[in-house]
Amino acid sequence: MTKEEVMKYAYVYVLDTMADWELGLVTAELNSGQYFKNRGSRLPVRTVGASNRPITTKGGLTIVPELTVDEITHETSAILLFAGC
């Protein structure tokens, strides 16, 4: 990655209505890059919320968002995933 290139992320918007399993497969593949055409490429996954307050999923897992929606930038966004909507 050159100085001009910006790291891209897969953002997951977390809601207390999401089930734990809904994003399991896609986040594992994006984060690992296992099936990307260019081996070694990947999209690190970051959690996003309306605030930094923890949410509890339907399965009882507590997730603390890493960022708020206001902190996401167009330059770093590759994809924004929603579950539990």
**32: nearest Cα among 22, 21, 45, 23:** 45
The domain at 9-82 falls in which architecture?
3-Layer(aba) Sandwich (3.40)
Q: Beta strands 77-82 and 67-68: pairing type? A: unpaired
Q: Model pTM?
A: 0.86
Mean pLDDT (the chain) is 91
| CA dist., res. 47 & res. 63, Å (int) | 8
pLDDT tens figures, 59-78: 999 999 999 999 999 999 99
pLDDT tens series, the chain, 85 aa: 555 678 899 999 999 999 989 999 999 999 998 888 887 789 999 999 999 999 999 999 999 999 999 999 999 999 999 988 7
